[in-house]
Amino acid sequence: MSDSASSRLIYGFHAVLAKLRHDPEGIFEIFTDAQRNDARARDLLRHAEQLGMRIIPSEGERLDKMVGTRRHQGVVARIDGRRKELKLPDVLDGLTEPALLLVLDGIQDPHNLGACLRVADAAGAHAVIAPKDKAVGLNATAIKVASGAADTVPYVTVTNLARALREMQEAGVWILGAAGEAEKSLYTVDQKGSIAWVLGAEGDGLRRLTRETCDELVRIPMYGSVESLNVSVASGLCLFEARRQRTVQA
């Protein structure tokens, strides 16, 4: 097709639904697993059909080959390769469950950013948010390290991080900042509601204004001799504890 040279693929429900809701004109076509007929798949198809999208039922194996992984959840979209900048309201307005967000404050290493995106994808986070300035940005190295997660987890850059955190608070999101000196433990704070975990770079931690904007500071208990963890490891611990709390049966 004539637009194929400027297109790329995204996959997974978070990424495709976010694109459908906020930039449907940027979608060329959607490939779906013809064998998947659960409520989540039907909801996506209904949304796509209402927008007049071209939908191509496909075999699961074809989708595997298209994106080089089986983690597509049965939906792949071919979109305009000229990336449209995603805004924070795009993510917040489209949520159908309590928010689980990862906010990165001043991460300079693209390997760390890519690893954080990968962790966010694995934990089912709805988005990763980072400042435009004094941060690495989603460059080729970060995308490669993310191993596909850059196309499954919405990545939002903001001009003013403290203002973005306040915007989240106004939307009902509780802001948890990871800080080694905090009194509350990761395992005692309630994470069942809408939350955003805010993590800073290893060593430097959260910047002052970011720290002051958080609703609550929380520490990751450390039992060995090291004083801090790599930000992607810390992100995984925080996000998966939130996910564990939400899935534990009463």
Residue 173: pLDDT over 80 = yes
Confidence of residue 3 (pLDDT cuts 50, 70, 90): low
Domain match, 11 and 42 both: yes
Tell me: is residue 200 an annotated ligand-binding position.
yes
Domain match, 104 and 30 both: no
State the residue range of the domain holding 240.
Answer: 88-247
Residue 38's CB: how many other CB atoms inside 10 A? 8
Give buried/exposed letters for 81-110 (b at 16+ CB in 10 A, else e). eeeeebebebbbebbeebbbbbbbbbbebb
Measured in degrees and rounded to the nearest 5, phi and psi for residue 57 equal -60, 135
Q: What is the DSSP letter of 151?
A: G
Give pLDDT, residue 239.
Answer: 98
- Number of compact structural domains in the chain: 2
The residue type at 176 = L
112 contacts 200 by C-beta, under 8 angstroms: no
CA distance 117 to 125: 9
Confidence of residue 249 (pLDDT cuts 50, 70, 90): low
Among residues 46, 80, 114, the one where a domain terminates is: 80
Tell me: is residue 220 an annotated ligand-binding position.
yes
The answer to which of 19-33, 113-127, 231-245 has the lowest mean pLDDT is: 19-33
Domain match, 65 and 142 both: no
Mean pLDDT score across all residues of the chain: 89
CATH number of the domain that residue 70 is part of: 3.30.1330.30
What is the value of pTM for the model shown? 0.74
Tell me: is residue 229 an annotated ligand-binding position.
yes
Domain match, 125 and 43 both: no
Domain match, 200 and 173 both: yes
- Per-residue pLDDT tens over the stretch 10-69: 888 877 887 887 778 889 999 999 999 898 899 999 999 999 999 999 998 999 988 877
Domain match, 142 and 26 both: no
